[in-house]
Amino acid sequence: MPQIITSRGTRRSFLRAGATLLSIPLLETYAESRDLTAIPPKRVVFLGGGFGFTKDTFYPTEAGRFSEIGLTEGLTPLARHQNDFSMVTNLTNMGATNPHGGSLSYLTGANVAGTPGKRFHNSISCDQVLAGHLGTETRFASLTLSANEADGSSNSGHGGGLSLAWDRAGNPIPGIERPLDLYYTLFANARDSKEAINARLKKRQSILDIVRLDANGIKRTLSKSDNLKLDEYFTGVRQVEKGLERQAQWADIPKPQASMDAPPEGISGEQAIQLMYDMMIVALQTDATRVITYRQPVSSVLTGMGITLKAHSLSHYGFSEPRTMASRQRDKKCMSLFARFLDRLKEAIDCDGSRLFDNCIVSYGTNLRSGHELKNIPAILSGGGAKDIQHGSNIVLPEEDTPLANYWLTLMQQAGMEIDTFSHSTGTIPELLSTRT
């Protein structure tokens, strides 16, 4: 029998119960021991796909409630959730200038190639800003997930980078790419004893000390520009050190045991997305983290659907009927997976007995609209965590090219942050906040 937290227990005592059963099929077990006096924390999830959707069959053409205007073909898999999501139209990432730049600036809004004197420069992504606010009490300030496409990033629609997340210095944050790696990140395994963790931390710290000593020895001989590069590098080193400090703080608190088997190697496409989604819900429900980004695969999803066209060529569907049909199939598959994720969020029970869905803010979007269009990119918003937002509508903003950063700023404020500006924002989106049934 699994150990169950009592109603008087805390999250930390729950995590100390190493034999606690924590798997998707048994989330109700955790709910039975809920503390009805607890206040559920806010959680924010950013889901990003590469490329956009099919122009004529995915996007609504008018504003209004979905119950009145109907759902487009591409959105039909979300029919059972039509009152629980919104779509925001007329958002443009003002920093994006290159369609092939992919998702590099999707969550940052930076003009990565437009900074004078720098070949490439990014800024902090909104998920990491939120992690500094929501992630101070969790094992992971944020979880950064990605996907390893077998045919390379050129066909994923995401461009370069390692994930959707970028740190305060504008450096890419590596994403967990395989469901197996996420499994061992979240759950206990043979390498997770306190002694083993301390040994790994000591080894990593020693490596950082060596790097620091070597760099200090040569800094006096470097040019001004090289010193600037070295300073940027050490900003990244300091981020690593902070991560090590966090691991050390949590070393005496065991990860929960998993009752499900570890996923096998080689999982990709639709199956990988489903597993990632399921484990994300476990991470949120057990308060391992409160902020997640997931840069989802594209090419492997097409392959799993039996579509032989490359994702990049598919985005240039033009007047090609086979490409258009494949693009429409891809749209419905992506929304079917998203609908299943919302199903599971609604099934999962939070610490106070409410649905996990009721305390989450979930954004789903891509860096492009259709083909290689940079303007009016898709933004689908769900979850009950943004209490001032009522879902169920397609919201057409009055100004074309409303900064995407305004959308991120609105969501950060809804997550409880006292913040007035982000990236190229010009304010929040009152039309989103004032939408009412």
* Region of poorest pLDDT, from 171-180, 183-192, 425-434: 183-192
Nearest to 37 by CA among 352, 385, 287: 352
Q: Which residues contact 10 (CB under 8 A, 6 or more apart)?
A: none
Question: Across residues 253-274, what is the average pLDDT?
Answer: 85
Average pLDDT, the chain: 82
What is the distance between the alpha carbons of residues 275 and 341, in angstroms, rounded to a whole number?
10
For helices 179-186 and 269-285, the axis angle rounded to 10 degrees is: 10
CA distance 367 to 404: 10
- Assign 119 a pLDDT band (cuts: 50, 70, 90): confident
Question: Per the structure block, which two tokens stand in for 377?
Answer: 């990119």
Q: Which two tokens stand for residue 300?
A: 């492997």
Query: What is the DSSP pairing of strand 393-396 with strand 85-89?
Result: parallel
State yes or no: pLDDT of 221 exceeds 70.
no
The percent helix, strand, coil of the chain (3-state, each to 5) is: 40, 10, 50
Closest CA to 121 of 172, 175, 49, 51: 172
| 154 neighbors 312 (Cβ within 8 angstroms) | yes
**pLDDT score of 315:** 80
Q: How far apart are the first and last CA of the chain?
A: 46
- Vertex 289: Cα angle to 293 and 21 (nearest 5): 120
- Give the pairing type, strands 143-145 and 360-366: unpaired
What pLDDT score was predicted for residue 14? 37
* Pairing mode of beta strands 402-403, 91-92: parallel
Please check whether residue 240 is in contact with residue 4, taking contact to mean a CB–CB distance below 8 angstroms: no
Give the Cα separation of 192 and 279 in Å (integer).
Answer: 19
**For residue range 130-156, what is the model confidence (pLDDT) as tens digits?**
999 999 999 999 999 998 776 554 557
Determine which of 120-134, 169-183, 231-245 has the lowest per-residue pLDDT on average. 231-245
Point out the least confidently predicted range of 203-217, 300-314, 347-361: 203-217
Q: Quick one: pLDDT at residue 153?
A: 45
- Tell whether the model's pLDDT for residue 26 goes beyond 80: no
CA angle at 250 for the pair 246 and 256, rounded to the nearest 5° = 130
Higher pLDDT, 117 or 294: 294
Alpha helices in 221-308 (DSSP H): 224-249, 269-285, 299-304
Residue 106 has pLDDT above 50, yes or no: yes
Q: Is the model's pLDDT at 40 over the cut of 80?
A: yes
Would you say residue 11 has pLDDT above 50?
Answer: no
Cα(231)–Cα(224) distance, integer angstroms: 10
**For position 347, what pLDDT does the model report?**
96
Q: What is the pLDDT of residue 31?
A: 45
Give the pLDDT confidence score for residue 240 in this predicted structure. 59
Comparing 52-56, 164-168, 239-243, 413-417, the range with the smallest average pLDDT is 239-243
Sheet with 143-145: strands ordered across = 64-65, 393-396, 85-89, 379-382, 360-366, 43-49, 291-295, 143-145
Residue 197, CA distances (Å) to 192, 200, 254, 307, 430 in order: 6, 5, 11, 44, 47
pLDDT value at residue 294? 97
Closest CA to 416 of 386, 379, 390, 391: 386
Residue 378 clears pLDDT 80, i.e. is over it: yes
Asked if 138 and 287 touch (Cβ cutoff 8 Å), the reply is yes
Q: What are the structure tokens assigned to 127, written together?
A: 């998920």
Distance CA 283, CA 151 (A): 29
For the residues 106-124, what does the mean pLDDT come to? 87
Mean pLDDT to the nearest integer, 191-216: 57
**CB distance 89 to 396 below 8 Å:** yes
Measured between alpha carbons, how far is 162 from 149 in angstroms, rounded to an integer?
Answer: 12
What's the average model confidence in pLDDT over 19-36? 43
The backbone torsions φ and ψ at residue 296, rounded to the nearest 5 degrees and listed phi first, read -85, 155
Between 196 and 368, the more confident residue is: 368
Q: Give the largest Cα separation in the chain, rounded.
A: 69
Residue 27 confidence (pLDDT) above 60: no
Reported as a pLDDT band with limits 50, 70 and 90, residue 120 is confident
| Number of residues that make up the chain | 437
Segment 46-81, tens digit of pLDDT: 999 988 899 999 999 999 999 999 999 999 999 999
Task: Give me the pLDDT at residue 190, please.
Answer: 44
Question: Most confidently modeled of 12-26, 138-152, 170-184?
Answer: 170-184
Find the helix or strand (DSSP H, E) in which 80 lies: none
pLDDT range class, residue 113, cuts 50, 70, 90: confident
Q: Given this model, what pLDDT does residue 100 score?
A: 84
**Separation CA 151–CA 269 (nearest Å):** 12
Confidence of residue 243 (pLDDT cuts 50, 70, 90): low
Average pLDDT, integer, range 196-205: 57
Percent of the chain with pLDDT over 70: 74
Structure-model confidence comparison of residues 397 and 255, the more confident one:
397
Q: What is the mean pLDDT of residues 195-221?
A: 57
Asked whether residue 10 carries a pLDDT value surpassing 80, the answer given is no
The one-letter code for the residue type at 32 is E
